[in-house]
Amino acid sequence: MNANISSRTLSALRSLKVQRLAPQIRTASYSSTTASPNVRIGLIGARGYTGRELIKLIDNHPKAELAYVSSRELNGKHCEHYTRSTVTYSNLSASDLPSITDVDCWVMALPNNVCKPFVDSLISSKPSSHPLILDLSADYRFTNEWQYGLPELYGNRQKLTAGSVRKVSNPGCYATGSQLGIAPLTLANLTEGIPTIFGVSGYSGAGTKPSPKNDPKNLSDNLIPYALTDHIHEREVSRQLGTQVGFIPHVGQFFQGISLTISIPLNKTMTGKEVADLYKEKYQGEGLVKVLEEGQIPEVRDIAGKHHVEIGGFKVHSGGKRVVVVATIDNLLKGAATQALQNINLALNLEEFAGIPLTTRN
């Protein structure tokens, strides 16, 4: 995109001390013939763990660069996780965004119920031609006006690449792992009753604001159940799958990663191998989903720092009509930042996994 910035924007950016130098291409990530990145991404609310991981991914993207990074708490500080050029944290307001004309995608990495003024400002300025907006919160996951960004399911990959998508709602971390762990059976009309999801997340899922759920001392030798009913991810998964699920979240003493043990009632007698084969067929060729063999149980320590989801277990109850599936996912990566970049790539007509280290392929 041509970097045309109004004089008003230049003045605002100078006062916000946003500095950008020419990108320095690193041979570890690019060939000598690769052109300068041509997709520019702005990040609003980059103080949290997810924002940090997304910055690292953009840093290694062959066709994208970090244009702006906004955080009230970090305003004026150097963005140390981005190394290709010098970017300084700014404190952009909602009213600043429409004047910035050199951004292809704005990522909202803000808590729930905070990003609406930024979104409204962008959309009202250019209702039909605003930059791509990707929201990491739950604010727009329950409206059909936004594209739900889980590419592996529901034909979403095709919808994201249709060329008309300008608003993408990134799924929740628990919700991503849960849907990938249940959908092959529901889509094949093989379930009966309510699937039950027992989830345990690392304490990074509780964010950076101090609380009992991210206090290592409080979590030592401990496991904390919370939001015992009506968790927002329970509603999200139920909405997307088209069937009610039960979800029981917990937080453990490890930092990142999620383990989901899912009990799924079946409407016919099946073997564990039959269930495993169904999942293998569904996710064949997917770069960010790995299906294990029947009886292999994925462990959370093996998924931390990885960009894919692992699904295994496939243990059928002796009666033959209930199967337990286990899924693991890194809540900060495929549960948030990696999936965000995957969605951005698709919506902006880039290679789906550009900038994402592929750690598995079926």
Catalytic residue numbers read 173
Residue of 303, 313, 312, 277 whose CA lies nearest to 359: 303
Residue 311 contacts residue 153 (beta carbons within 8 Å): no
List the one residue out of 154, 145, 101, 57 whose CA is nearest residue 350: 57
Give the C-alpha separation, 179 to 159, whole Å.
18
Q: How many helices (H) and strands (E) does the chain have?
A: 10, 13
- 287-293: long-range contacts, CB 8 A cutoff, minimum separation 24: 287/352, 287/353, 287/356, 287/358, 287/360, 287/361, 288/152, 288/334, 288/338, 288/342, 288/353, 288/356, 288/358, 288/360, 289/152, 289/180, 289/360, 289/362, 290/360, 290/362, 291/362
Give me 185's structure tokens. Answer: 């059976």
- CB contact set of 327 (below 8 Å; sequence gap of 6+): 177, 178, 180, 181, 259, 260, 262, 298, 309, 310, 311, 312
Q: Can you read off the two tokens belonging to residue 215?
A: 């206090």
Determine the Cα–Cα distance for residues 234 and 248; give it in Å rounded to an integer: 9
Nearest to 196 by CA among 17, 94, 360, 323: 323
What is residue 248's DSSP assignment?
Answer: E
Residue 44 vs residues 105, 108, 161, 202: alpha-carbon distances, Å: 11, 5, 24, 24
Q: What are the two backbone dihedrals, phi and then psi, of residue 329, each rounded to the nearest 5 degrees?
A: -155, 145
Amino acid letter at 131? P
- Which amino acid is residue 132, in one-letter code? L
Report the distance separating Cα 122 and Cα 7, nearest Å: 19
Strand pairing report for 289-294 and 147-148? unpaired
